[in-house]
Homo-oligomer: A and B are copies of this chain.
């Protein structure tokens, strides 16, 4: 009599890359504290190459931002609102806060899939925002 429909569609995709990991100023405490959460900072600092870890995450935040499909972030936008932490399998998991969460809610976005890849000098990220 009734039919339960759980349908999912892609709301947006995002790709980003940094050619030189050194282009991400991971040694700049102001940049880090403005753009990364405490949990992200603790995680990256515990990695073998914290600069590569910060860079991959930064590129990931840009890709997630693009997947939200909102207009270009102003000077006041907080990339800190896009938090990327490993799940129990070590894969990157996205949690949104503040304005980023509000934008996603407005668009009906329920899940953001993210994948990161980096070599010694290049970091690439792909994000897909899914609505239901």
Contacts and interface: CB of A to CB of B under 8 A. Distances in A.
- How big is the A interface, by class? 35 or more
Interface of A: 3, 5-10, 12-19, 23, 62-63, 66-67, 69-72, 88-91, 111, 113-117, 119-122, 124-128, 130
A62 B9 CA distance: 23
Contacts of A117: 15-17, 62
Contacts of A91: 12, 66, 69
Could you say how many copies of this chain the assembly holds?
3
Contacts of A69: 89, 91
A130 to B, nearest CB: 6
B71 A13 contact: no
